[in-house]
Amino acid sequence: MRYPQTAISEVANFNNGFPFKPSDWCSTGYKIIRIQNLSDHSKPFNRTQKEVPARYLVKRGDILVSWSATIDVFEWDDEDAYLNQHIFKVDYNPHKVDKQYFKLSLKNTVRELGKFAHGSTMKHVVKGDFDNHQIPLPPLDDQIRIATLLSKVENLISRRREQLKQLDELLKSVFLEMFGDPVRNEKGWERVTIRDLISEAKYDTSKSAEGGQYKYLRMNNISTNGFWDFTSLKYIDIDNYEVNKYSLVRNDLVFNRTNSKELVGKTAVYSSDEKVIIAGYLIRVRTKPEANPWYIWGSLNSKAGKLRLFNLCRNIVGMANINAQELQDIPILKPPIDLQNQFAAIVAKVEALRGWYTQSLTNMESLYGTLSQKAFKGELDLSRVLIV
């Protein structure tokens, strides 16, 4: 059955955070919740001793919605803190709407409003957009059943994402176990530079992607953990005589030379036989016989490697850069090629498992999308969903 629709303002109030200034920050007092603290738990908190009205105080379990740049829904799970501007604290009416159902409805609302967000550079959604947005409002028992069902799928998705993160940590641990710390060099490997291990470090085409037969890989196609992300692709045509000049072959190392300071130096290894073209912000690297590209990949993606890249890059007009010469001058250890190849074999096994996990995650997310659409439309049979 179709559920009645209601404006969110009929069941909840959205209250923006306090406009704290840098002069309000200090090392003690209440935490200040900023968007970066919600989207990345590793980010440090600023604190304040400033006296602000009680309506800006956030307690454990409060629902928060960031509405500028990062547009998302969160539930606070920490000590009492003050809310910064650009985040709404959402007070809902528990007599009209179940908390978990309301959170799911808000997430669906964020997805829908995000398509029409204001601003050309920093996207944002204003309070009126939320207030006027219509959500389905089933009876409370059905709200609880929908939340129970969708939360189970959400938990499965979260577990699969965590397993993917654990695979990343596994490879870092294996690299450290096999080759030791690259700074201390407790295993006594020969110290060389990347230049000594490679035969080529070449910039690729600066031609713009205007459609064509070849996939055009850009800096956003390399993830921060050093793997390929092909979810957003462009295509390009180039002259036949330039194809080999600008294309990748299996086992090419690809280095992101220009990006923000935190992202410059992203590195991946191409492991396909399909001809693809890479953009000019990427460097194509080919190794000598005594080096395996996966070993160099592991070194650059290690904690020590990331720190070295962060300290090496130069800021140029708002972007950070490491050119081909600077890349080749980076110090690196040179363990035996047999050991490098063993690491590459381990990476291949982990990559196979990663592929399975990634496809499983895609299937779960697709299932969640289908279930949530049907649930909010009243098209699911909820009679077998137990209320806990």
Residue 133, SS3 per DSSP: coil
Q: Is the pTM of this model over 0.85?
A: no
pLDDT tier at 119, thresholds 50, 70, 90: low
Residue 345, SS3 per DSSP: helix
Where would I find the beta strands (DSSP E) of 257-349?
A: 258-259, 267-269, 276-278, 282-287, 314-316, 319-321, 331-334
Reply yes or no on whether the pLDDT at 226 is more than 80: yes
Q: Supply the pLDDT for residue 316.
A: 73
Q: Are 35 and 68 in contact (CB under 8 A)?
A: yes
Nearest to 343 by CA among 228, 173, 181, 163: 173
The proportion of the chain whose per-residue pLDDT surpasses 90, expressed as a percent, equals 79
Nearest to 277 by CA among 364, 211, 327: 211
User: If you average pLDDT over every residue of the chain, what do you get?
Assistant: 92
Q: Supply the pLDDT for residue 251.
A: 97
Nearest to 344 by CA among 161, 192, 178: 178
Question: How would you classify the pairing of strands 331-334 and 198-203?
Answer: unpaired
Which tokens belong to 136? 């389905």
Look-up of token digits 């180039």: 238
Please state the domain extents for the chain.
5-137, 190-334
Which tokens belong to 24? 């309000």
Q: Supply the pLDDT for residue 216.
A: 92
Q: Supply the pLDDT for residue 383.
A: 82
User: Which of the two residues, 257 and 117, has the higher pLDDT score?
Assistant: 257
Which tokens belong to 201? 């470090």
Q: Supply the pLDDT for residue 114.
A: 76
* CATH top class, domain 190-334: alpha beta
Q: Supply the pLDDT for residue 386.
A: 79
Q: Are 187 and 180 in contact (CB under 8 A)?
A: yes
Reply yes or no on whether the pLDDT at 290 is more than 70: yes
pLDDT tier at 319, thresholds 50, 70, 90: confident
- Averaged over 219-236, what is the pLDDT? 92
Domains 5-137 and 190-334 in one fold: yes
Q: Supply the pLDDT for residue 238.
A: 86
Q: Supply the pLDDT for residue 283.
A: 96
Reply yes or no on whether the pLDDT at 115 is more than 80: no
The proportion of the chain whose per-residue pLDDT surpasses 70, expressed as a percent, equals 97
User: Which of the two residues, 114 and 107, has the higher pLDDT score?
Assistant: 107
Reply yes or no on whether the pLDDT at 117 is more than 70: no
Q: Which residues of 170-195 are buried (b: 16+ CB within 10 A; e: fewer)?
A: ebeebbeebbbebeeeeeebeeeebe
Reply yes or no on whether the pLDDT at 222 is more than 80: yes
Q: Supply the pLDDT for residue 113.
A: 86
Nearest to 57 by CA among 91, 22, 101: 91
- Angstrom distance (rounded) from CA 10 to CA 279: 50
Q: Supply the pLDDT for residue 179.
A: 97
| Terminal Cα distance for the chain, rounded | 23
- Angstrom distance (rounded) from CA 241 to CA 214: 14
Nearest to 360 by CA among 152, 104, 149, 163: 163
Q: Supply the pLDDT for residue 387.
A: 78
- Averaged over 336-364, what is the pLDDT? 96
Residue 254, SS3 per DSSP: strand
Q: Supply the pLDDT for residue 207.
A: 73
Q: What is the pLDDT of residues 155-174, one digit of tens each?
A: 999 999 999 999 999 999 99
> Which of 111-115, 189-193, 233-237, 244-248 has the highest mean predicted lDDT (pLDDT)?
189-193
Q: Supply the pLDDT for residue 188.
A: 96
- Averaged over 195-199, what is the pLDDT? 98
- Angstrom distance (rounded) from CA 266 to CA 222: 7
Q: Supply the pLDDT for residue 210.
A: 77
- Averaged over 1-30, what is the pLDDT? 94
Reply yes or no on whether the pLDDT at 121 is more than 70: no
pLDDT tier at 183, thresholds 50, 70, 90: confident
Reply yes or no on whether the pLDDT at 120 is more than 60: no
Give the chain's largest Cα–Cα span.
71
- Angstrom distance (rounded) from CA 48 to CA 30: 5
Q: Are 75 and 62 in contact (CB under 8 A)?
A: yes
- Averaged over 311-317, what is the pLDDT? 84
pLDDT tier at 112, thresholds 50, 70, 90: confident
The matching CATH number, chosen from 3.40.50.410, 3.40.190.10, 3.90.220.20, 3.40.50.300, for 5-137 is 3.90.220.20
Reply yes or no on whether the pLDDT at 50 is more than 70: yes
Which tokens belong to 184? 């201390």
> Which of 49-58, 62-71, 197-206 has the highest mean predicted lDDT (pLDDT)?
49-58
pLDDT tier at 243, thresholds 50, 70, 90: confident
Nearest to 85 by CA among 62, 52, 44: 52
Q: Are 270 and 286 in contact (CB under 8 A)?
A: no
